[in-house]
Each structure stands twice: as structure tokens, then as C-alpha cells.
Structure 1
Amino acid sequence: MSLLLGSSPAVASADVAQRESVQVTGRGTVSGEPDTLEATFGVETSATTVAAALKQATTAATRMRDTLVRGGVTKADLQTSHVNVTSMRKDDGPITGYTVRQGLTAKIRNLSRGGALMSAAVTAGGDAARLDGVSFSIADDTALLAQARKKAFADARGKAELYAREAGRPLGRVVRVSEGATNVWPQGGQDRFAAADASVPIEPGRQQLSVTVTVEWALDPPKAP
């Protein structure tokens, strides 16, 4: 919060009044139910040659992807996140083999089937499959953000009115509005599950959205007694 009151005798009173203002920051927070799950899958294979390791990884990843598509996930909601090939050595000796890691991110928009789809995908990938984490989001948070912005502005106005009263000045027009960061939490779990644990039930809970806004109001001249 900043309260700017002109006091220089070298400035005309009209100019001082134009510069006098109060600036505060307000916060608005709302919550909603997530409707989208984003699952991060992976495969990891090792073999004595790069070609063999790649083939095994590609086979497992393809089975996982096909299972998700058959379960209702659109191809537009599937994305390869990474492909890594690393060599293996015993101590400082020659290369003994290669490890391939692939990542696949899937957006599951039917939460009621989320757990079953993840379990089926990891099962399809076999021992090479991994479920690296899940997160939840709200696909269209426009209405919630509008509510949060209204709350943030009301919070800022309440603070400004208080400071204006304490300064003995009427609150004037809005001079400037600046929106700060928009925060969403929680962001989802970071647990890592191997194939045998992939049927863990999901709990989307609720998400909170928070908006901050900085508003500057002019301070009108004091009312005549």
C-alpha cells in the first residue's frame, strides 16, 4: 500500500490534488472442482544394443498409447514428452548396454474413468511401464477467475476506503489498475508408481484460484466544513 500526499509548497494546490492518491493490493480467492486429469507415463528399457532398447521401448509406449485411445483419450490429448538414450558401463570399462526412456503425457477428461485408464495403460506397457505423476486442472476457469477478480477488487477498495478515511479524504476515481499473478493450487501429486501400484485410486479434491490486483485511487480534496 502506498499513500501519496503532495506537500511541496512550490506546487500549486490543484496540481498537488491531482498527484494525491492511495494505492493498495487486493486478493481474491475462489475454489472449484477439477475436471481434467493429466497423467505422465514413462517407459524404461535396457538392452545390449541401441536398436533393441529402442524397439522394446517403442513397443511398450505404443501399447500404452493405444490403450488410452481405446479408452476414450483423443490423440490430440496425447503428447510425447521426451526420448532419452543413455549408455551403461561397468565401472570405467567399455559400454555394456543402453537404456531408453520415453515419456508420454495424457489428458484424461473423464475423471470417473481416470484410475481405470491409468491402470490399463500401465498394465499394457508391462514391466517397462511407469506412472510418473498426476495433476488436476479445470479446463475452463473463466467464470472462476472472474469471481476471483471481483473479490480482489472489492478487497482493494475496502483497504483504500479505510486509508482514505484515516487520511480525512474522500476516495476519488480509479487512476490505475494492474493485475498481478494468478495462482492455482494444489498442483497435483508428485508420487511415482511402478506398474504394480498403478491402480491407486485418484482423489482430485478441489483447486483454489487466487488473483491479486493493485489499484490506485485518487484522493479528492477534503470536504468543506
Structure 2
Amino acid sequence: MDTGVNVVGSGQVSGTPDVLRVSLGVEHAAPDVASAVARVGERTDAVMAALRGLGIEESRLGTSAVNVYQDYREPDSAPAYRASHTISIETGDLTGFGELLNAAVDAAGNSLTLHGLQFDIEDKSALLVQARELAFQQAKEKATHLATLAGFSLGAVSAISETQGHFPIRAEAMAGKAAAYDSALNITPGDHTVSVSLEVHFAWGA
């Protein structure tokens, strides 16, 4: 095993979100699978059209999941099947959530659910560079201190391992069926934090 000191440094940098990601669900139950699938498809298309009408770009709008399963019913009840689609939306308009949700509710009515929303930073590369620099600086300061305590000088770096993390602002809710939302409804994002941890091995100096 190489002699030296192994330390972990961490760095965190915060930035202002520039993208809102929303996850919506559309579902429908019917006595047979074909009807459930057909009806949920129609309502999903209606929601998609409404969102396009708000200016959501095609590349930022799509179906991310499709499910069909037997719906739970009381014993001796007629069987039913539930189909559901999950729609993923991205937008740079951080203040238009109320208008977006209203349009989806108008299009799908009681079939719509809101799975959640998340504020994020689309390009985190600059924040990662800053966090990495802070993490390495902390690791070197720790290693220098430990080397001094042990009576050694610090040598060259012989290994580095990196772990990244980020902490977007999230909110979870369920859409209240066909109830209308105030189109002025604003959810204000806080800072988004990017974190980098570095495990660094320093050899002892000559």
C-alpha cells in the first residue's frame, strides 16, 4: 500500500435555477383495457395540445411513462382496468406554473394529477468547476495539517476520486381534480446547490 495520507474534501456552490420541470399524470379507468388505453390517450393528446398552445417547445414536452393495470375493486364488483400516462414538461418560464396547470386541468379534467415539480439549473458545468476547486482546496488543507501533525511534508497527489451531487428545489402536490387554479399562482425557487466530494491521496514528501 502506498504511504501517505488519504483525505476527503467537499465543496458546495449555489446558483439561481433557470428551468422548471413538471410531472403530470393522466389516467382513466374502464371496464376493458382497450377502452382505458384509448380514453387516456385522447386526454393525454388534449393536454399536450394545450401545453403546446402555451408555447412549450416540442423538445421539452413528452410522455415519460405508460402504465396499464387492473384497478382494485371490492369483492364481487365488476373488473376494471386503469391506464395512465406520465407527461414531463420543461420550461424556462419560472413564473408560469399556474397558467400551465390551469391549461392541463382544462384539457383533462378529473383525469389529471400533479406528481411534482422541480426547479433546476440546466447547465451546471460552471458550478461544478467551482465546487471541485473548493473541494480540492479543503482536501489539501486537511492533508497538510495531518502531515504536519505526523511530522512529514506533503508530496504529490497519487489518486483522486470524485462524487457529485445536486439539490434541486422540489415541491410535491396533487391536483385537486377539476378545480381551477389561480393563473397568477407563483412558486418562487430558492437557490440550487451543487456539491462535489473529492477523495484525494497525497504521498509523503521527500
Question: Which range, TM-score by smaller chain?
Answer: 0.7 to 0.9
Residue of 10, 13, 19 corresponding to 1:36: 19
Q: Following superposition of structure 1 onto structure 2, how do residues 61-100 of structure 1 map, counting pairs within 5 Å?
A: 61-88=44-71, 90-93=73-76, 95-100=78-83
Distance 1:39 1:144, change over 3 A: same
Give 3-state SS (helix, strand or coil) of 1:43's partner.
strand
Distance (Å, rounded) in 1 between the aligned partners of 2:22 and 2:180: 14
Match of 1:189 in 2: 171
Q: Following superposition of structure 1 onto structure 2, how do residues 39-188 of structure 1 map, counting pairs within 5 Å?
A: 39-88=22-71, 90-93=73-76, 95-179=78-162, 181-186=163-168, 188=170
Please tell me the root mean square deviation across aligned C-alpha atoms, in Å.
2.2
In structure 1, the gaps of 5 or more residues are: 5-18
Deviation at 1:83, TM superposition (A): 2.3
- Structure with bigger RCO (C-alpha 8 Å, 6+ apart): 2
Distance (Å, rounded) in 2 between the aligned partners of 1:167 and 1:36: 49
Distance (Å, rounded) in 2 between the aligned partners of 1:141 and 1:118: 27
- Given the alignment of the two structures, is residue 220 of structure 1 paired with residue 202 of structure 2, yes or no? no
Give 3-state SS (helix, strand or coil) of 1:46's partner.
strand
Distance 1:197 1:172, change over 3 A: farther
Match of 1:25 in 2: 8
Tell me if the contact between 1:87 and 1:95 (Cα under 8 Å) persists in the aligned partners: no
Deviation at 1:56, TM superposition (A): 2.5
Give the TM-score normalised by structure 1: 0.81
Give 3-state SS (helix, strand or coil) of 1:112's partner.
coil
> Which letter maps to 2:150?
A
Distance (Å, rounded) in 1 between the aligned partners of 2:197 and 2:138: 10
Distance 1:103 1:165, change over 3 A: same
1:183-215 residue CA offsets vs partner (Å, 9 max, x unmatched): 111451232223426555322211111100011
Deviation at 1:82, TM superposition (A): 2.3
Distance (Å, rounded) in 2 between the aligned partners of 1:90 and 1:20: 66
Distance (Å, rounded) in 1 between the aligned partners of 2:44 and 2:3: 64
Tell me if the contact between 2:96 and 2:186 (Cα under 8 Å) persists in the aligned partners: no
Q: Percent identity?
A: 33
Distance 1:220 1:88, change over 3 A: closer
Tell me if the contact between 1:122 and 1:131 (Cα under 8 Å) persists in the aligned partners: no
Tell me if the contact between 1:108 and 1:114 (Cα under 8 Å) persists in the aligned partners: no
Aligned residues, how many?
203
Deviation at 1:153, TM superposition (A): 0.2
Tell me if the contact between 2:95 and 2:186 (Cα under 8 Å) persists in the aligned partners: no
Structure 1 window deviating more from structure 2 (121-130 vs 184-193): it is: 184-193
Deviation at 1:36, TM superposition (A): 1.2
The structure with the largest alpha-carbon Rg is 1
Structure 1 window deviating more from structure 2 (147-156 vs 113-122): it is: 113-122
